[in-house]
Structures are given as structure tokens and as C-alpha cells.
Chains A and B, each alone.
Chain A
Amino acid sequence: MNFLQKKFLLEKNIKKLFPCELIKYCYAYGSAVIPQKDNKGKMIDLFFIVDDLEKFHKENLRVNHHHYSNLSKHFGNGKIIEVNKQGTCVYYNPNIKLCDDILIKYGVMSYSDFIFKLKNWDNLFVAGRFHKPVSCIELNTRENKEDINEMNEVNDLLYKNRKSAVIICITTFIL
């Protein structure tokens, strides 16, 4: 399966399976999307950037209860959000069968944390993933001006994030 076919399947099945109206941006990364030499990963890594963590996990727990670990189901939405807001600010649900051919791992992150991590580099867990090529999966059509402006701002931030990495490399390793 080539990259475009994979992207089409991803888009189609994510829309079917997840509460997409609550997902602002979706990015696919890792070796299953951007192939590595001698290693084509099987599991596709996804980032779901959501406006409201509470709403998303509540709805996702309802429709995709089996995606969550036994511990997180036991403690419930409150604890999931608490874990999601700490450290790297990404909450992962791994080993999810999206369809016959696609296995995914998805990380959920709030939009405000995403912007903060890209701007401030308090750790490189998120920013570092966006130094590498990633693929944006469009789940919602953006028609109004505000959404388009916001998307441009995010793209601008991602560009600045890469620019910072280049500068750090030049000033540290070259000059």
C-alpha cells in the first residue's frame, strides 16, 4: 500500500471511528507513514490535537471504550485528564486496529498544550516529532476565515519550530 492509499484509508476510518468534530488537527508520523531505511513500521502513530480534553475523552470513552487500558477505565475520565495534562501532555492509546490493514497508536493532546510546547520547548517530546516530516490528516473542512487563520498560525509555528532546530544545530555543531 502506498502512502496516498494509506492516507485515504486513515482519513476514512478515523472519521468513522472517532468523534472527529472534537479533533482540531490530526497528524500522522513515524516509520509507517514516513518510511525509514530498512524499516517500514506496522503501527501508524497519530497525534490528535483537541480543543477540550474533557469532552474528547468523555465521548471517546463512550464510543471507543476498548481503546483505554483497564487502569484508566477503572479510574475514569478525571484521572485520564490528569495524566493527559502532566509531563509530555500526550495521552497514548496504543495497538488499536483501525481497519483490516491498519494498526494505530494515537496520542491525545490539548490545543493549548500543543501550542505551548511548540513555542517554548520546555521539552522536545512534541516539538521534536515535528522536526521530522509528518503528514497532516484533514478530518474537518475549514471554511470560515477564523479556522483558516488559525491553521495558518499553526503552520507558521511548525515552521518556526523547525527553524529553531536548524539554528540550534548550526550554532552548536557547525559554527
Chain B
Amino acid sequence: MKNKSEVNTVEFFIDLAKLSYIGDIRTHFKAEKKDKIKNVVLGALDSYMILYKPIFEEFDVIIRGDMLVFDEKHNDKYFHNIPNLFMTNLQLHINDYNSKSKFENQFQSYKTEKRREIIDNYIKSLNLKYSIYGVMSGIFTTNTSDSVFINYFIITLIYNLDTIFVRKIQKGFF
């Protein structure tokens, strides 16, 4: 789905639904089923279309069969609508201390791959932090029988972190 102004509707909604899953620790431990995101979208495609049609109309996105067509002459319109606070946090995340407008112009000038990398990393760090918190708070909120499941997460997490550190030590990172 790179550098295209035309994209398959299902692919677009999968990318959209992925936003809240990128970096979520549960996806690493298979607690979330493998094709979950694809199944979420395919099972509710009509509901997605109803929900997003007014937004597509607002941004002059043309629905042609099962494709969405984005007119590149509206690039500025898209970029100027990125939520303010999201941009500010993104700027802080990558330690960019330029003025906000300079950062926005620079961001717009990046190639798709670079923008994708920046946003992916930022959202990953957000979701990872809060999914770990979710697992931890689950110990408090879940009853004993379910805690076995939660404990499985924590043990796997500790095991994985341990493995990562051992690998880093072996590679001489520390």
C-alpha cells in the first residue's frame, strides 16, 4: 500500500484497524488471534463503509468498486488535518525542537517510507507502554481463575525480556 493514490478498501480498513494493535504486547504472545485484524474488517465491512463514508466524502475520496481513490491534489488538505496534539507529541517523541510549522512542513516533505517509519515507531511505543499497563492492572481486576492467564503473560514477558537482554549482551551492546 505504498505510494499509491488508489487503494483496496479492505486493505485501507486493515491499516486503519491496525493502528490500535501496532506494538500491543498481546499480539506478540498470540493472545490475539493471528488474523484477528483481517477478520475484524472482513466481518464488518459494511458497517465500516457506513461509518467512514461521510469522512471519505469530506476528503473527496472516490469510492470506485472495491477501491478508494485519493486525489493527490488534496495533499495539503490531508496534512493540515493531522490532529494538533498528535503532531506535537510526535515531534517530542523524535526529539525535534524546530518550530511546529517547520516540523509539519518537513514531515510533509518526507518520503512515504520515512513517514511510515516515524509514525509506526511512535504508535508502537504508545501501545506497548499501555498494553503492559493493561496486563499489570489485570492482576488487580481479574478473579483468581483468570489470573492464571494473566500470569502466563507476565512469565512470557519476563522470559522474552530476558532473552532480549541476553542477546544484546552477546552482541556486546552493554
* Chain A contacts to B: CB under 8 angstroms: 31, 34-39, 68-72, 75, 79, 83, 86-88, 91-95, 119-125, 127-129, 131-133, 159, 162-175
Is B153 in the interface zone, CB < 8 Å from A?
no
Q: Cβ of A35: which chain B residues have Cβ within 8 Å of it? A: 43-44
The residue among A38, A71, A174 with the most chain B CB atoms within 10 A of its own CB is A174
Is B166 in the interface zone, CB < 8 Å from A?
no
Contact of A166 with B52 in the complex, beta carbons under 8 Å? yes
In the bound complex, how far is the Cα of B119 from the Cα of A119, in angstroms?
A: 18
Contact of A121 with B144 in the complex, beta carbons under 8 Å? no
**15 A-B pairs (CB sep. < 8 Å):** A37-B38, A69-B140, A71-B141, A87-B134, A88-B134, A124-B19, A125-B130, A164-B82, A165-B19, A166-B16, A169-B16, A169-B19, A170-B59, A171-B82, A174-B3
Q: Cβ of B134: which chain A residues have Cβ within 8 Å of it? A: 87-88, 125
Per DSSP, chain B at the interface is helix
Assess A173 versus B43: contact at CB under 8 Å? Given A123-B126, A164-B86, A166-B55. no
Contact of B140 with A83 in the complex, beta carbons under 8 Å? yes
| Minimum CB distance partner of B120 in chain A | A172
Q: Cβ of A123: which chain B residues have Cβ within 8 Å of it? A: 126-127, 129-130
- Shortest distance between the CB of A135 and any CB in chain B (Å): 9
Is B42 in the interface zone, CB < 8 Å from A?
yes
- Shortest distance between the CB of B42 and any CB in chain A (Å): 4
- Shortest distance between the CB of B83 and any CB in chain A (Å): 5
- Among the 9-residue stretches B70-78, B94-102, B155-163, the one with 4 or more Cβ atoms under 8 Å from chain A is B70-78
